[in-house]
Amino acid sequence: HEVLGIEVPMATAIADAAGARRDYLDETGGRYVHLVAYGDVLTGGDIAKAIACGADAVMLGEPLAAAAEAPGQGWYWDPTVSHPKQPRSWLHWSRSDGSETESPPALSEVLLGPTADASGARNIFGALRRAMAKCGYSSLKEFQKVELTVAR
């Protein structure tokens, strides 16, 4: 899981859903269904992998909850949790060297950078752009059609 970024079941689920979407597109004469990846999408690398598997968008609740501007001040309540008073996870940011940060990152740093954090949890769209560029793609629609190999 650490190497792939998104787990194999999610990667194959997105790829299978994207294949079903192509079939549906053909059957309906052009009716396009958007595919949203949700679950354990935490870094720019995770986003790039979800898009490469065929997703049109990703849910970013947990990464956005860590931003200084987030109303939950680091608390993230996942919609799949059933208890309304118990938060599922507490996001605690630390530097890449393992030392604690003094304050949470700004939303602009989480989304767009620049950042000195090399974990991929900040500048997530910069990471997506870099992954696409390294693979030779300039648009998301092209990147959704990249050749994949999924190993278990």
Average pLDDT, whole number, for the chain? 81
Dihedrals phi, psi of 111, to nearest 5 degrees: -85, -45
pLDDT at residue number 96: 41
pLDDT digits (tens, 9 = 90+) for 129-152: 999 999 899 999 999 888 887 666
pTM: 0.77
> Which residue type sits at 141?
K
pLDDT digits (tens, 9 = 90+) for 51-95: 999 999 999 888 888 888 988 777 776 666 556 666 555 444 444
In this structure, how many other beta carbons lie within 10 angstroms of the beta carbon of residue 95?
13
